Structure formats: structure tokens, C-alpha cells
């Protein structure tokens, strides 16, 4: 038998509106009231009728989260943070992914509008400013990551990669490195381009020659193919900076396949600090991105913006930092002797995603 909110209120000795505020985790409610309502909900095994609530208040209980690829290990913590923050406020989450395809933009926008989401966090470079008007014209709030300035119904979260990059370059400089390669992410990816520019500029400022500079998809095998370019260079660098941990782990597998020791011969630095990075062999030195906090902040930014009278968005900043593990060491003193077998090395047998 399904019970009503009125029955919960009667059992708890409060009004139905108080039950609603407790379920939506509203502030300024005494602990004793929360305890009584929670006990009544559990006793009656009460579940809110979401569809009835939508009809009653004329608003959806749904927020959207758009990511690039569900298999990319960067995103699970973003999803967890966003979902937990939404659930704590009594909302549900619609998860969509673009698979890095700009062609899916129209489909994603249509789905968000059809499902009547209140707001959407766009955590992928696959969707750009072209999604703003179709969504905001429908009254849907949008939060981006390091993309557009705040505006009405638009907020932006900037990840301060500069801080972590400075720490990483200072770290390898202190180990005696003076020549670094860069394997950046895709040239079509805004975040990847931002990271590459920050890496190259800071390496030059610190006196570390960035050469060669290559690009890679966010896949293990793509990171491996970029190593072929590095090993064919006139002078082999002593450290490789990678645009993501996936690229870095692919690079380490390829270096191992070529008989090059990490970090004795070449040090490797990643970005993201995904859960697999400390399981790599050797464990990966990487720039940590607070991904769960990114998810939490994304929801909070949307929720706050939509509760404001003018629905004006805001700017947010998240810091990065260096995590030192075993993939970086003192720079080798001798030049690596080039081996023709490097260019014919077999690629590691790994999938395109973890």
C-alpha cells in the first residue's frame, strides 16, 4: 500500500509542508523534527511521487550532466560528486555522453529540453557556446567547465591547471631535467589546447626546452603512438609531460616495450590523478584535478543560480596540485643511444579505454 505525505505528517506530528522541507533538506529545521519525520518515512516506507510533484509545482526534479565518454576514467568521480549533491537536495540526474562527437550536439540538446531538466552541467569540450541559447531560451540553467564567462542562466567553473603545472615543472627542474617532450591531448579539444599552451610556456620560462610537441587522443594506444615521434627525435628528452593520465600510461607502456626504463631513462608526468594512476608501474607522478569536487560544484552552481531572482550565473575556481610518485627521478646524465628497433616496436596490447 502506497502512503501519502499527509500520512507521514500525521505520524510525525507535523504539517505536510514540514515533511516536504525535511525531504528536500531545507535549512532551519530542528534536529528533533528531522528525526521524527525520518522515522515516520522509514516506518511507512514512504516514497515521493515525483510525477505528481512535477504536476503540482510545475517544475522538473531533473538536472542534466553531459560528459564526453562514460568509459573515460576521468568522469566517474565527476558523476559521483554531481549525483550525490543532486540527491542530497532531492533531485534526480539525467546523464548523457557525446562520445567526443560534435554531431551529437543536436540530439543532446533535444533530449535535455524534452526531459524538462532544470539545469545542465556541460563537462565536455564537445559542446560549446552553440548550446547556450537553445537551453537558456527554455529557462534551463547551464554550467560549463573553463569555457564561457558567467551570464544570465550561465555559470563557469575554471580549473586552475597553472598551479599544478608550475609545481610539476619545478619538481622535474629540481631533478636536473632540462629537455622535455609534450604529448598534448587532441588539437580540437579546448581544454587540451589550454593545458598544452600552459605547459609549453612554463617550460620555456623555467629553461626546459619543450621538444618535440605532439598531440594524442585520450586513449592508451594513442599515447603509445606519440612515443614513436619522441624516440625518433634528434635528441631524446629526459622527461615527458602528458595531457592526461591515460596518455601517460600509454606512453609508459610504449617506452617499456622499447626497452626504456621509466624513470631511470625517461621520467613521465601525467594530468588528472585518475584512480588507476597509482596502480601504474611505476606509479605515476601526476597533476591532481579535484574531479569529485568539480561535480559537486557544478550542481551547487546550478542550484544556486536557479534559486536567484535574476538567475545570474557566477564564476568558480578549482585548484590543482602535484602528486609525486615513482615515475619521475633524477635526469639521466648520458644521451640515449638511438635504436632502430624503437621505430618498429610493437604497440602494447591495450584497449582504447579502461
CA-to-CA dists, residue 177 to 135, 142, 266, 331, angstroms: 48, 43, 10, 5
What's the grid cell of residue 48?
515521493
**pLDDT score of 147 more than 90:** no
Helices (H) and strands (E) in the chain, counts: 12, 12
- DSSP code string of 22-89: HHTT-SS--HHHHHHHHHHHHHHT----HHHHHHHHS---EEEEEES-TTSTTSHHHHHHHHHHHHHT
Q: For residue 63, how far is the Cα from the chain centroid?
A: 17
**pLDDT score of 65 more than 90:** yes
For 273-331, what is each residue's pLDDT tens digit? 998 899 999 999 999 999 999 999 999 999 999 999 899 999 999 999 999 999 999 99
For 112-129, what is each residue's pLDDT tens digit? 998 889 999 999 877 778
- Closest of 342, 293, 297 to residue 315, by C-alpha: 297
**pLDDT score of 186 more than 50:** yes
**pLDDT score of 103 more than 70:** yes
The pLDDT confidence band at residue 84, using thresholds 50, 70 and 90, is very high
> How many residues are listed for the chain in this entry?
354
Tell me, what DSSP letter sits at residue 333? S
Angle, helix 245-257 to helix 220-231, in steps of 10 degrees: 50
* Strand 321-323 versus strand 315-319 pairing type: unpaired
The pLDDT confidence band at residue 347, using thresholds 50, 70 and 90, is very low
The pLDDT confidence band at residue 2, using thresholds 50, 70 and 90, is low
For 220-237, what is each residue's pLDDT tens digit? 777 788 999 999 988 999
Amino acid at each position: 500500500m502506497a502512503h501519502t505525505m499527509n500520512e507521514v505528517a500525521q505520524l510525525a506530528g507535523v504539517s505536510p509542508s514540514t515533511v516536504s522541507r525535511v525531504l528536500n533538506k531545507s535549512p532551519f529545521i530542528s534536529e528533533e523534527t528531522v528525526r521524527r519525520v525520518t522515522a515516520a518515512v522509514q516506518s511507512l516506507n514512504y516514497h515521493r511521487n515525483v510525477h505528481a510533484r512535477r504536476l503540482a509545482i510545475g517544475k522538473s526534479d531533473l538536472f542534466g550532466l553531459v560528459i564526453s565518454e562514460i568509459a573515460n576514467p576521468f568522469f566517474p568521480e565527476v558523476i559521483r560528486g554531481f549525483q550525490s549533491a543532486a540527491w542530497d537536495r532531492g533531485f534526480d540526474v539525467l546523464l548523457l555522453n557525446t562520445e567526443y562527437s560534435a554531431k551529437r550536439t543536436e540530439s543532446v540538446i533535444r533530449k535535455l529540453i524534452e526531459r524538462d531538466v532544470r539545469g545542465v552541467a556541460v563537462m565536455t569540450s564537445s559542446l560549446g557556446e552553440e548550446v547556450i541559447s537553445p537551453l537558456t531560451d527554455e529557462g534551463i540553467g547551464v554550467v560549463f567547465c573553463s569555457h564561457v564567462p558567467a551570464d544570465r542562466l550561465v555559470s563557469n567553473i575554471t580549473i586552475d591547471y597553472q598551479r599544478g603545472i608550475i609545481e610539476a615543472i619545478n619538481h622535474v627542474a629540481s631533478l636536473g631535467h632540462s629537455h622535455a617532450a609534450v604529448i598534448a591531448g587532441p588539437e580540437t579539444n579546448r581544454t587540451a589546447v589550454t593545458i598544452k599552451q600552459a605547459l609549453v610556456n612554463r617550460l620555456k620560462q623555467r629553461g626546459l626546452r619543450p621538444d618535440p610537441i605532439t598531440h594524442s587522443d585520450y586513449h592508451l594506444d594513442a599515447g603509445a603512438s606519440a612515443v614513436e615521434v619522441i624516440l625518433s627525435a634528434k635528441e631524446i628528452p629526459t622527461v615527458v609531460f602528458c595531457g592526461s593520465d591515460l596518455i601517460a600510461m600509454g606512453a609508459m607502456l610504449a617506452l617499456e616495450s622499447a626497452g626504456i626504463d621509466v624513470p631511470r631513462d625517461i621520467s613521465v608526468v601525467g594530468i588528472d590523478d585518475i584512480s588507476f594512476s597509482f596502480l601504474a608501474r611505476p606509479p605515476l607522478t601526476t597533476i591532481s584535478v579535484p574531479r569529485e569536487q568539480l561535480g559537486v560544484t557544478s550542481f551547487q552552481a546550478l542550484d544556486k543560480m536557479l534559486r536567484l531572482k535574476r538567475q545570474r550565473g557566477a564564476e568558480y575556481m578549482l585548484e590543482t596540485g602535484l602528486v609525486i610518485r615513482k615515475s619521475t627521478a633524477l635526469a639521466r646524465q648520458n644521451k640515449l643511444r638511438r635504436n632502430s628497433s624503437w621505430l618498429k616496436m610493437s604497440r602494447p596490447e591495450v584497449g582504447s579505454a579502461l
